[in-house]
């Protein structure tokens, strides 16, 4: 469907937003998983930082897109380190993407249902809400862990629709993940947008089959 972001926002009855990389800066999560966890893993296992990163990235890739990839309990058990504590140690790095808070405040005043739809583990979601207060701007918060399926799975969308009735054709879903957006498209979600700069410490992503916006603020007039 050929539409511009502002038109999609005006047409939608339900707005579904991802959290990490859409509302909150993915730089926090990338710092955790690409820097801090490898450093802790290296120290615990007598490895160099590069050796630890290499091993961890193989483990990450093996479950990427599955619910385990997003599960802190899985990584605590698999790696033998307290990844929850690592998150709590650097909460000062948690923050909104540029313009995202303004966008949420604007949408909160409109007659549209706004839902947070995330793969984030409930512990991480609770931590980020405590730091940012993002829950105040949503009509509901939905973690894929509650449904037993990641957003990349059709089973997730089926379970979400059972929990929250929504008209797929009049739903706008915004995410930074191409596989997640493709899953939503396969399910029949009518309007899809990709955030192309989910991490402020990295350049914008290029090349996508979905209409892109650098940030959600670009959806506003």
Q: Are 79 and 112 found together in one domain?
A: no
- Unique residue bearing structure tokens 């000062």: 92
Residue 9 dihedral angles phi and psi, to the nearest 5° = -65, -35
Same domain, 42 and 107: no
Query: Quick one: 103 and 175 in the same domain?
Result: yes
> Could you tell me the two tokens for 118?
């995330």
Residue 157 belongs to a domain with what CATH number? 3.40.50.1000
pLDDT for 86 beyond 60: yes
Which of 71, 92, 113 finishes a domain? 92
pLDDT of 1 higher than 80: no
- Where among 74, 92, 110 does a domain terminate? 92
Q: Tell me the per-residue pLDDT of 89-131, one tens digit each, with 9 for 90 and over.
A: 999 999 999 999 999 999 999 999 999 999 999 999 999 999 9
- Same domain for 198 and 132, yes or no, is yes
One domain, residues 100 and 197? yes
Provide DSSP, the chain: ----HHHHHHH-SEEEE-SBTTTB-THHHHHIIIIIHHHHHHHHHT--HHHHHHHHHHHHHHHTTSGGGG-HHHHHHHHSS-HHHHHHHTGGG--BPTTHHHHHHHHHTSSSEEEEEE---HHHHHHHHHHH-GGGG-SEEEEGGGTTS-TTSHHHHHHHHHHS---GGGEEEEES-HHHHHHHHHHT-SEEEEES---TTSPPP---SS-EESSGGGG--
The average confidence (pLDDT) of the chain is 95
Last residue of a domain, one of 51, 67, 92: 92
pLDDT score for 2: 54
Same domain? 120 vs 213: yes
- Is 109 found in the same domain as 87? no
Name which of 102, 99, 129, 104 is nearest 114 in CA terms.
Answer: 104
Residue entry with tokens 């309990």: 73
> In this model, does residue 3 exceed pLDDT 90?
no
Are 206 and 173 part of one and the same domain? yes
Do 130 and 180 lie in a common domain?
yes
Domain limits for position 163: 5-25+96-219
Domain identity same for 9 and 66: no
pLDDT at residue 68 greater than cutoff 60 = yes
* Number of domain units in the chain: 2
13: Cβ–Cβ under 8 A, 6 or more apart, which residues?
112, 113, 166, 167, 170, 171
Exposure string over 99-138, b if 16+ CB within 10 A, otherwise e: bbbebbebbeeeebbbbbbbbbbebbbebbbeebebeebb
My answer on whether 140 and 175 are in the same domain is yes
Q: What is the pLDDT of residue 209?
A: 85
């Amino acid at each position: 469907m050929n539409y511009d972001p502002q038109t999609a926002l005006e047409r939608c009855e339900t707005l579904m937003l991802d959290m990490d990389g859409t509302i909150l800066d993915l730089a926090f999560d990338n710092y955790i998983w690409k820097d801090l966890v490898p450093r802790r893993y290296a120290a615990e296992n007598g490895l160099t930082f590069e050796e630890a990163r290499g091993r961890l990235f193989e483990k990450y890739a093996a479950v990427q897109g599955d619910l385990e990839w997003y599960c802190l309990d899985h990584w605590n058990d698999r790696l033998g380190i307290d990844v929850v504590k690592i998150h709590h140690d650097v909460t000062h790095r948690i923050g909104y993407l540029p313009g995202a808070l303004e966008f949420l405040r604007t949408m909160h005043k409109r007659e549209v249902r706004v839902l947070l739809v995330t793969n984030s583990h409930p512990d991480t979601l609770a931590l980020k809400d405590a730091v940012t207060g993002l829950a105040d701007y949503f009509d509901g918060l939905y973690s894929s862990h509650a449904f037993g399926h990641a957003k990349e799975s059709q089973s997730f969308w089926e379970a979400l629709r059972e929990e929250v009735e929504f008209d797929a054709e009049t739903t706008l879903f915004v995410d930074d993940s191409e596989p997640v957006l493709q899953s939503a498209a396969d399910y029949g979600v009518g309007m899809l947008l990709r955030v192309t700069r989910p991490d402020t410490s990295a350049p914008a992503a290029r090349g996508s089959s979905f209409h892109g916006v650098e940030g959600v603020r670009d959806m506003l007039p």
